[in-house]
Each structure stands twice: as C-alpha cells, then as structure tokens.
Chains A and B, each alone.
Chain A
Amino acid sequence: MTSIKPLPDLEDPLTRPFWDATRNGRLVMPECLTCGYLQWPPERVCPECQSRGLRWCEVPAAGTLWSYAVYHRALEPAFADDIPYVVGLIEVDDVNRKMYGIMTDDESALEIGARVRGIFVPATDEVTFVRWQIDDASPAEQASS
C-alpha cells in the first residue's frame, strides 16, 4: 500500500490552471500578460513588472536533469513507502526554468545532464502529478550544464 501523498490545493486560483493542464497531459507555466515574463514558480504579481494578469502557456514536458536528491530516510512520512525515492531538479527545455519533481527511475539510471521527459501520473480523479523519467531515446548533453 502506498501512503497518501500531499495533494495540491485545487481551490487556489493561482495554480488551478496548472493542475487542469496536467490532467490533460500538458505542462504549463504562466506568462505575464503585460511584459511576457515566464514565471516559475507562479506568483500573484509579475516579479519583473509588478503587473497582475497571467496567460498559461504550454512548455515542453522534457528537459535536462540538473541535479537530484536520493531520500534514504522518510523525512516526509507520506513518502515512507517509496524509500529510497529520488527528487530531481529539471531544466525544462526552451524556457530556462527549473522544476522539482519525483523521478521514476532507480538511482543507478540517473546522471546529471541526462535527458528526461515528463509523464503524467493520475493520483486522484482531479489531480495528476508530473513525474520525470530518463529519456533513453534522446542523447544526453555531454558535460553540458
């Protein structure tokens, strides 16, 4: 049995569009309607021009593994059954933004700079998480980043 994972607050209007998109298999980030700054993580005011108003844009569910943490201790009890579990920090393609997410691969398969792709894993009827896995079909950037 898997423990119940923390779930996002779907009542939060700021982030609701993100979860609506993942349920439909799309990864999105908000862009400022005034200056076009791409926000990650989302904020209620644009950090560049202090305007309000966002448009959610699809970004590639693909990227490069910047680094990762391998949890051998259930510091968050909800993840106790998953130990050891891996959290990756992904540089998302094309947008120069980084995103944290659970990696589905074993630690032995991981390498910084590896190509990864997002997969959409339903947790409840309403919430679909983005998990990340090594994309063997796509060559790693050599000593890139």
Chain B
Amino acid sequence: MRPGAQVAIAGVGATEQGEIPDESPEEIAVRAAVAALADAGIDKASVDGLITCKAALSTHGTDEGMGPLLGINPAYSTTLDYGMGSFSLHLAAMAIQAGLATTVLLTYGTNARSSRTSFSRPIGGSSDWLRLAGLVHVAGPASMAVRRHMHLYGTTEEQLGWVSVAQREWAQMNPLAVFRTPMTIDDYLAQPYIVAPLRRADLTVISDGGAAVVVTTAERARDLAKKPVHVLGIAQQSAIRNEQNPEKLMRPWLAEIASRLYAAAGVGPDQIDLAYLQDGTSVWVLQMLEQYGFCGIGEGGPFLADGNTKPGGRLPVNTHGGQLSESYTHNWMHLYEAVRQLRGECGDRQVPNARVALHAQTHDFWKGAATLLSTETNQ
C-alpha cells in the first residue's frame, strides 16, 4: 500500500519571518492562510478541513481560536500541539483518505521572538532530573549527542560547521531569511561556544512568522492554479519511551522511519534531489543525513565537509537556510520551500531539475516523521 499516493499539496503561503511585534500567533497564521488559499487559487468556502498547529510552548493557535478569524465552518477541524509541518500534513492526508474532508487547510503562526518565549527548560521528558543536573535548553543534550558522534567516528567541529555554513550560503539567496550575512567556516569556528561543542550558528533562530498549506486530492489538485506537489509516501516513529530507549540521544530509530518511507514510496535516497531536514540544532541534520541513508552511519562529517549540502552540491539541504538561518517555524517553512523548489519558483537559489524532495523532522528526541514529495506521481 502507498498510503499517501492520492494526496497532493495544492498551495502554500507564508508571512514575512523575523519580528512581527503587533500580531498574535493567530493573526500571523491567518495571513499565511490567506496567502496559501490564493496560491492554490481556491476560495475559503471550499475548505472542508482545518488542522491548526499551536505556536511552540503556547496555547495559541487552536482550531477554535482560528475558526472565527478565518470565518469557516469546515466539516472537520482539529489542532496539533506540535504539528511541525510533517504531523499536520500526515493528518491531512489521513483525513482526506478517510473521507472526512477533501480540501484541508493547515496553519501555523508564532510570535516566539516578540513574546520573548524562554527556551531554557529541560528538553525531552524526565524534566526534573534534567533540571536538577542543569541540563536545560536543547543545546545541552544536542551537544552530548554530537560529542559522542565525534568520539565514535572522528567527526570534527569544522565538519559540523558545514551544516550551518552551507545553510547560510542558501539563506543569502532567500529574501525571507533572518540571517543573510555571509559566514565562512572560519567565521563559524571563531564564534564562542554556547554549550560546547555547539556555537550560536548551530542553534535555531528564534523568530516570528507563519506558514500555511492547502492539501487536497491529487485529482482536485490537477484542476487548481499551481502544479500539484504529490505526497509519495509518509512514515513516522514515535520513540516515546524516551529515556528508556537505548542510545536515545543518537536517535537510531530515525532509520526505521527511513526504511518505511522508502518502502511506501518506492523511492530510495539515491533518487532524492532535495532534503529538508528540520534543524532545531545542526546536530539533527548530521544525524538525519546518516539515518536517511545519504551516507553511512558515522560518515556525516566528511559528507558535509565535501560540500554536498551547499549550493551546487549533490544533495542540497535546507535551501531556504532552515531554522539555522531563515526562521523559527518548526519545519513549516521547510515544507513551504520544498513545494516551491519542486514547482521551480525559487529564483536565484532554484535547484535545476529537482523532482523529489524529502521533508523530515523530529520533535527533539522522539516523534519523528517524514514525507516524500514530488511533482510526479509514483503510480
């Protein structure tokens, strides 16, 4: 079975990214939604499904909050705490395939920067034990994971630095990106540590912004304004035993997502032209390059240093700059960029002949999800 084969993305929308001091997360999400509907060329009256995603670490962004602002009464609506693009998209595919809705609008908005949201909290459950040990902020466990990688495989700080340096090269060609100033590998290495061996450039931007996506049946998408971007396959792995999972920080269970995804879509890593790897930290990119099979386990460092992920490389990664350079949108802007690259709309940073994109993420040390997207179908 190919669970996602009949579903397509018909439109995407985004707001500016950075500081939006006078708008609530809901208002930001509404602007993105209006843009996505216009992109698809459909009226809000034909939206019969709404899946909203809460702004990170907040109660903002529920479907009950969004309904009155969008002025819609869809047949189906719900809210995910941590939709992160992937989970919202997968739920939309399920809702469409189950017959609950035909055209589903996905929304996200955050004002994490303007509201001065604090991220200095323990990450990944068992929070009392982490808090007592001073292990706060995602940089702590991420630094442990990458130091372990360095110990096992000889990965260097410079090799890791190529995650952020490559993404900054992409971001320089993206008008939406918050950080666009050039950054060389020497600039990277000159940055002070935040939690060694991680530096500022290894950690996500915190910004305001919104994104929205219109998902519908492949059949309906063919009649809409833009070239449909088909969902070739979806896969997830929860890993919610958390601390009980051996080697938790290395996230080896990501490989289970990869194998299910590639089996579902009938596509392997060699056929993937673009990778959108959610990058709350640079370490996630290093781990996902390996676990999704773009290089062997332990080979991520040399793969990055060889320039594979930067402009002109064999596997362009996060061609908008990702969370390290573009914005803090928990993988939503990764999805926005993936769709626009596949439709050939990315101007200076357009990757020629890009046909298949991987969009993958995890919620810290659990709950991973991945999607394969293409303008072509696999049927």
Which A positions have Cβ atoms within 8 angstroms of B?
Answer: 5-9, 15, 40-41, 47, 66-73, 75-79, 82, 84-85, 87, 89, 98-102, 107, 112-113, 129
Number of A-B contacts (CB under 8 A): 90
- Check: B147 CB closer than 8 A to any chain A CB: yes
Q: Are B139 and A101 in contact (CB under 8 A)?
A: no
Q: Are A100 and B120 in contact (CB under 8 A)?
A: no
Residue among A9, A41, A71, A101 making CB contact with B243, cutoff 8 Å: A41
Residues of B within 8 A of A75 (CB): 120, 136-137, 139-140, 194-195
Residue among B129, B132, B148, B194 making CB contact with A66, cutoff 8 Å: B148
Residues of A within 8 A of B140 (CB): 69, 71, 75, 87
Beta-carbon nearest neighbor of B192 in chain A: A72
Beta-carbon nearest neighbor of B130 in chain A: A100
Specify the main secondary structure of chain A where it touches its partner. Answer: mixed
Q: A67-B144, A87-B134 are in contact. List 10 more A-B contacts (CB 8 A).
A: A41-B129, A69-B140, A69-B195, A70-B195, A73-B194, A75-B194, A87-B140, A89-B144, A100-B133, A113-B151
Beta-carbon nearest neighbor of B146 in chain A: A67
**Taking the nearest CB of chain B, how far is it from the CB of A65, in angstroms?**
10
Q: Which of B127-165 contact A (CB under 8 A)?
A: 128-137, 139-141, 143-145, 147-148, 151
Residues of B within 8 A of A47 (CB): 241, 244
- Check: B193 CB closer than 8 A to any chain A CB: yes
Beta-carbon nearest neighbor of A76 in chain B: B136
Q: Are A8 and B196 in contact (CB under 8 A)?
A: no
- Check: B271 CB closer than 8 A to any chain A CB: no
Q: Report the bound CA distance from A13 to B195 in whole Å.
A: 34
- Check: B126 CB closer than 8 A to any chain A CB: yes
Residues of A within 8 A of B141 (CB): 69
- Check: B104 CB closer than 8 A to any chain A CB: no
Q: Are A129 and B132 in contact (CB under 8 A)?
A: yes
Q: Report the bound CA distance from A72 to B147 in whole Å.
A: 15
Q: Report the bound CA distance from A70 to B134 in whole Å.
A: 11
Asked whether A68 and B144 contact (CB < 8 A) given A8-B132, A75-B120, A76-B136, the answer is: yes
20 pairs from A and B in contact (CB 8 Å cutoff): A6-B131, A8-B132, A40-B243, A68-B147, A69-B135, A70-B195, A71-B134, A72-B193, A73-B193, A75-B136, A75-B195, A76-B134, A77-B120, A87-B133, A87-B140, A89-B249, A99-B129, A100-B129, A102-B133, A112-B148
Q: Are A71 and B151 in contact (CB under 8 A)?
A: no
Q: Report the bound CA distance from A85 to B140 in whole Å.
A: 11
Q: Are A70 and B196 in contact (CB under 8 A)?
A: yes
**Taking the nearest CB of chain A, how far is it from the CB of B379, in angstroms?**
42
Q: Are A69 and B143 in contact (CB under 8 A)?
A: yes
Beta-carbon nearest neighbor of B128 in chain A: A8
Residues of A within 8 A of B143 (CB): 69-70
Q: Report the bound CA distance from A51 to B193 in whole Å.
A: 45
Residue among A77, A101, A112 making CB contact with B151, cutoff 8 Å: A112
Q: Which of A7, A73, A75, A112 has the most CB of B within 10 A?
A: A75
Residues of B within 8 A of A99 (CB): 129
Residues of A within 8 A of B132 (CB): 5-8, 129
**Taking the nearest CB of chain B, how far is it from the CB of A11, in angstroms?**
12
Q: Are B144 and A72 in contact (CB under 8 A)?
A: no
Residue among A7, A85, A107 making CB contact with B134, cutoff 8 Å: A85
Q: Report the bound CA distance from A85 to B195 in whole Å.
A: 9
Q: Which of B324-375 contact A (CB under 8 A)?
A: none
